[in-house]
Amino acid sequence: MSFPSPRNSAFAPLDKQEHTHANTPAASPVAVPDKPAAAQSIETDPNRVLSIGEVAKLLGLSTRTLKLWEKTDPCFPKSFQMGTRARNWLYEDVQAYILEKAGRRKA
């Protein structure tokens, strides 16, 4: 039994034009965002109240690590409660912490 050669036209790579069906429109190029999706979803209003999940996404941490940093790092912004359990932070405070750690803010 003989197997077809990879050079056989049945196995030859197709041109990009051949990948699209004649009745379907050509795919438009996908825009690549400059920032990660998580960072794009958080508004940059300095008075915006962030949840623990939003702060974790902004810093690229797990919520568990965020809680640990809150307890052990004296420079980490203090959270406040708007309800009975949820912890919240102001975007401005978290952004100041990031800039301080990056060495771009005068302490």
Strand extents, DSSP E, 1-107: 49-51, 80-81, 87-90
Provide the terminal-to-terminal Cα distance of the chain, rounded to the nearest Å: 78
Strands 80-81 and 49-51: unpaired
pLDDT, tens digit (0-9, with 9 covering 90-100), for 70-85: 999 999 999 999 888 8
Q: 71-86 in b/e burial notation, b at 16+ Cβ within 10 A?
A: eeeeebbebeeeeeee
pLDDT in tens, 11-45: 555 555 555 555 555 555 655 556 555 555 556 67
* pLDDT for 6 beyond 60: no
Please name the residue that has the structure tokens 């069906």.
21
CA dist 75 and 104 (Å) reads 15
Domain ranges of the chain: 37-101
The structure tokens listed for 61 are 């941490």
For 37-62, the pLDDT digits (tens) are 555 555 667 789 999 999 999 999 99
| pTM value surpassing 0.75 | no
Shortest CA distance to 59 belongs to which of 38, 30, 34, 37?
38
CATH class held by domain 37-101: mainly alpha
